[in-house]
Structure 1
Amino acid sequence: MQKRIADFLEKMSVGFLVGAFFQGSWAAMFFSAVAIATSLHLTKRMEQ
């Protein structure tokens, strides 16, 4: 279940990052960076 959440977060945040890049929105870029870091942290914890 956690892996599915992490995968979803990753896809969503990548989409956010692309959208933020084209709009030049720093807040959205920051949010997506946090979401990517969170999903990476989740997947790292699950692999252990």
Structure 2
Amino acid sequence: TQDVFVHMETLRVAGIPELQPGQALRIKIGEGSKGPQVAEVELA
């Protein structure tokens, strides 16, 4: 597995108020200014 940055605004737009440890997500990764980051997210 690889760590990927997710911005709180991306979660808010997806209707996810907070993440819990171990919570399963479906994500699409894009390239951010400092490397890979979550571009789209939804609960799995």
Q: Is the structural similarity TM-score above 0.5?
A: no
- Per chain length, whose mean CA-contact separation is higher, i.e. which structure has more relative contact order (CA < 8 Å, sep 6+)? 1
**TM-score, length-scaled by structure 1:** 0.22
Greater per-residue strand proportion = 2
Greater per-residue helix proportion = 1
**TM-score, length-scaled by structure 2:** 0.23
